[in-house]
């Protein structure tokens, strides 16, 4: 069929498992990421770590902070800084909505995963509220119960 586009190719680069454990994830957004050439190559080799990273709205722009991208092995003196602040690409409407929801207490923006979509690096971010210790215990208890039910049904 002429003119039909193939489905978007996606390959997961990193997942932030700690985000689901530490936060109640509310709204999710897909954002592009402004990167240097050696950063893209390092992400392709699996050197991206989203643990303990977060995003912040500054002057109408969203930035990813503390995401660690290890140095590219074959990079020369032009290699990137591993923990630099990186700009996220979102629509103006989405940025305003995120900024309005994070103004309330206890709300933050956390990256949940990074992936390649048609050769471009995308980051899924979520507006989140921190969990208390009892919330974490409840989640662990529910997961254990689900495992027990599944093993019983087999």
Chain segment 14-70, per-residue pLDDT in tens: 899 888 888 889 999 999 999 888 888 888 888 889 988 999 999 999 999 999 888
Q: Where are the alpha helices (DSSP H) in 1-132?
A: 17-22, 37-44, 92-102
Is the pTM higher than 0.85? no
Query: Among residues 104, 149, 125, 132, which one has the least CA distance to residue 19?
Result: 125
Chain segment 113-152, per-residue pLDDT in tens: 999 998 899 999 999 998 888 888 988 899 999 999 999 9
Q: What is the pLDDT of residue 36?
A: 82
Q: Give CATH for domain 10-153.
A: 2.40.280.10
25 φ, ψ (degrees, to nearest 5): -85, 125
Indicate the pLDDT class of residue 74, thresholds 50, 70 and 90: confident
Structure tokens at 73: 């092995």
How many whole angstroms separate alpha carbon 121 and alpha carbon 50?
Answer: 13
How many whole angstroms separate alpha carbon 60 and alpha carbon 87?
Answer: 11
**Domain boundaries along the sequence of the chain:** 10-153
């Amino acid at each position: 069929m002429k003119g039909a586009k193939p489905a978007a190719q996606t390959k997961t680069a990193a997942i932030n498992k700690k985000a689901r454990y530490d936060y109640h994830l509310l709204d999710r957004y897909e954002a592009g990421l402004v990167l240097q050439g050696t950063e893209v190559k390092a992400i392709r080799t699996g050197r991206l770590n989203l643990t303990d990273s977060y995003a912040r709205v500054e002057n109408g722009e969203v930035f990813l902070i503390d995401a660690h991208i290890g140095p590219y092995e074959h990079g020369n003196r032009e290699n990137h800084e591993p923990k630099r602040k990186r700009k996220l690409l979102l629509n103006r409407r989405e940025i305003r909505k995120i900024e309005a929801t994070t103004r309330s207490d206890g709300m933050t923006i956390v990256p949940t995963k990074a992936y390649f979509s048609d050769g471009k690096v995308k980051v899924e971010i979520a507006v989140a509220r921190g969990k208390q210790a009892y919330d974490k215990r409840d989640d662990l208890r529910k997961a254990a119960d689900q495992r027990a039910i599944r093993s019983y049904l087999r």
